Amino acid sequence: MTQYDTMVCKEQFEVIDDGLLVRAPAKLNLSLLIAGKRPDGFHEIDTIMAKVNFYDEIFIEKGRKTGIELICKGPEWTPQGQDNLVHKAAQLLLESSGRAYSAEAAAKAGKADIKITLQKNIPAGSGLGSASSDAAAALIGLNKYLDLKLPNHQLSELAARLGSDVAFFLDGPLAKCRGKGEKIEKISKKFDFLALLVLPNVSVSTKRVYENYQHNPDLYNDLNVRINSYLQKNRIDLVLKLCANMLQNSCFILYNELAELKGRIESLGVTPCSLSGSGSALFCIMGVAFENKAKQNKLKIEEKIGCRTIIVRNNEW
């Protein structure tokens, strides 16, 4: 990390002594459309997501306690123990592979115990997918560490049971996701970018934002046609110019301070400023050649507004 708080691209895996470090990247929604409400009560989404080089980290090693031991640390809040999605992912993976890790089952079977340490760097409730990414990292990491050799389609099935965005983080780095987020169409074209990522001290409830959402079918149809046309031409840059996030109004009604923050950022000439997911993170994407401009805008936001801002790049994996 430089003096400008620019995130450094890192590898997905790193072997440290007898353990395995797995990095869990954040994501940005380059577009987010809502097609309507499904019969199961969930909303049908159509979104383009890109991983960025802002990471949580999980470290997997042999444990000293029976079963799965999860330790959470770092600057950001995350649920502890069995309430954490990392623990749920680990339990689900091991049960599905015939290696149940409940304390009682592990003790009876004499199986090796697992210790997972989660370093939480990405804020919860920010629309950056951190918990989903952590869960995917746990699935991928344990599959590799324990040499389970579970195929990708099986990991995807487990991911869908854990949460809507988890499957996206199994692959990538750029994809169109539909359904509840579990239907993944990988975008093979490489799209390099810099993004100025603004991290307000606000935790947004995704559930409340969806409950507050008022559907606009005409807007969805218009944006859907335009975005699909741009994708057919491999013009992701044109998708970005739409700043299409159909959850934005719902989020801003509930969290007016975010609407005000967006306005203040744009009044400084930092445009276009978009909301990622259901919020609270805001971002401004620019070409990789504009790093100096990104650094200037970062300092401007921090000096004039006082909000934490980092510069990220598209992730390579």
Q: Which residues are catalytic?
A: 27, 165
Identify the DSSP state of 24. Answer: E
Q: What tokens were used for 235?
A: 């013009």
The amino acid that residue 178 corresponds to is R
Q: Whose structure tokens read 């741009």?
A: 230
Long-range contacts formed by 203-208: CB under 8 A, 24+ apart: 203/123, 203/124, 203/125, 203/126, 203/280, 204/125, 204/126, 204/127, 204/251, 204/254, 204/255, 204/258, 204/278, 204/279, 204/280, 205/125, 205/254, 206/125, 206/127, 206/277, 206/278, 208/254
- Preceding omega of 173 cis (within 30 degrees of 0): yes
CA-wise closest residue to 180 among 192, 196, 168, 193: 168
